[in-house]
Amino acid sequence: MMRSLFRPLFRPAAAALLALGLALAAGGPVLAQQAPAAGPPAGFVAPPPPKPEESNAERAKSQPGNNAPFWRAVRESGEQAGYTSLPGAEKGTLIQSFTQYPGSRVATAGEAWRQVRNQIIIPYGGALLIITLVAIAIFYWRVGMIGGHVPDTGRKIERFTPFERAAHAVNALAFVLLALSGVVMAFGKFFLLPVLGATLFGWLAYALKTLHNVVGPLFAVSLVIVIITFIKDNFPRAGDLRWLLRMGGMFGDHEIPSHRFNAGEKVVFWAGVFLLGLLAVGSGLLLDQLIPNIVYTRGVMQLTHMVHAAVACLMLVVFIGHIYLGVTTRGAIDGMRTGYCDEAWAQEHHELWYNDVKAGRIPAQRSGTPVPQGNKPAQA
């Protein structure tokens, strides 16, 4: 049925195809003869092939639209600065040269710095802080409050003068503000960003960064005052090594005798306040670009930032420990709050200092502040 339907169409179509085939066979050589010859037309002068050392202007002629020399110069501007009319350090360097910072792969310096920050300082610093908090929580759970085994006598010794307490208070307040704002800047995106959302977190981080920059110089000044104020009683003395080797008697039934500050406090002073404190302050002032006569290149800022962030994490560990012991040693915070400690406290925690006070070698009262109400000054 179908065959009979199409039969009338089949014959003319076949004839047309045959005719087309014959025409192509006959005309093919003619078409081939008419195709243009290979190569440029007569009179065409080809531009010279591009050379790697060409300037961008030369390249625009040799290969219009190809900006490779320009981008090569951008990439190598860390080796040889490009031209710029902008004044200031390193303005002709768009991409720093290749380098390797401790812990990074070989990469352009900005990328190497980013690797150190994101793959070392942030994860290891954060882990260190969490380990410290967990460790002191376990310590508190197992040991609880420290000392206070001897009843108070009601006789007071001046532990800190008003000046010493004021220096300590300003320094401690500045440190806490720096610590909180620094922690939000470094780790906030992990624990605050998901809670607050990008807009609120952005504003908070910006506000805390500004606070950090303002409080930094206050911390710097108060740190120097604290160092000068407390240095003389933090020099090593006989008995400190014994205190350290026995860990202050932490696992015995009484504390190892110490002078006004025990060896643990001296370690906090020299390692935490003096070394880490001055490094944090020095690097912080550099980051704030407050130290004159320094060329603040990106390399300087990257190195400074890595030192500052690593030192800040270590300082946090030291001062979390310091604050913990200050708060959980019964009576210690009273010495800082009122300026006075009980004779019993002095004997329990700083026996050699207590003996010196009792022997009259150190005055029981150094400033004119009155002894807290209901108490008597200690007698030599």
Interacting residues toward ligand HEM by CB under 6 A = 159, 168, 171-172, 175-176, 223, 226, 230, 234, 261, 265, 268-269, 273, 277, 319, 322-323, 326-327, 332-333, 335-336
Q: Closest separation between CB of residue 349 and ligand HEM, Å?
A: 7
Sequence-ordered alpha helix ranges (H) in 231-297: 240-245, 263-267, 277-287
Minimum Å gap between C-beta 276 and ligand HEM is 9
Nearer to ligand HEM, 101 or 261 (CB): 261
Question: Could you give the CA distance from residue 18 to residue 225 in angstroms, rounded to a whole number?
Answer: 108
70 vs 66, 83, 357, CA distance in Å?
A: 9, 11, 77
Closer CB to ligand HEM, residue 116 or residue 226?
226
Least CB distance to ligand HEM at residue 284 (A): 13
Task: Give 59 or 159: the residue with its C-beta nearer to ligand HEM.
Answer: 159
Taking the least distance from each CB to ligand HEM, the nearer of 125 and 272 is 272
Q: Residues 179, 129: contact at Cβ < 8 Å?
A: no
Residue pair 258/352 in contact (Cβ under 8 Å)? The answer is: yes
Nearer to ligand HEM, 113 or 319 (CB): 319
Are 97 and 298 a contacting pair, CB within 8 Å? no
User: Which tokens is 232 given?
Assistant: 């003389």
State both tokens at 98.
């290749």
- Do the bridges between strand 376-377 and strand 155-158 make them parallel or antiparallel, or are there none, so unpaired? parallel
Cβ atoms of residues 109 and 97 within 8 Å: yes
- Name the token pair of 156: 């007071």
**Cβ of residue 156: shortest distance to ligand HEM, in angstroms?**
13
How many Å apart are CA 132 and CA 183, to the nearest integer? 14
- Residues 303 and 158: their CA atoms lie apart, in Å, by 44
Q: How far is the CB of 261 from ligand HEM (least distance, A)?
A: 4
Closer by beta carbon to ligand HEM, 112 or else 184: 184
- Closest CB 336 distance from ligand HEM, rounded Å: 4
The C-alpha atoms of residue 346 and residue 157 are separated, in whole angstroms, by 8
Q: How far is the CB of 337 from ligand HEM (least distance, A)?
A: 8
* C-alpha to C-alpha distance for 8 and 224, rounded to whole angstroms: 111
Q: How far is CA 376 from CA 213, 340, 348, in A?
A: 45, 11, 19
Secondary element (H or E) of residue 337: helix 332-338
54 or 152: whose CB is closer to ligand HEM? 152
Cβ distance to ligand HEM smaller for residue 121 or 281: 281
Do 109 and 90 touch, CB atoms closer than 8 A?
Answer: no
For ligand HEM, give the closer residue by CB, 113 or 261: 261
Shortest spacing between CB 112 and ligand HEM, in angstroms = 31
Shortest distance, position 202 Cβ to ligand HEM, whole Å: 28
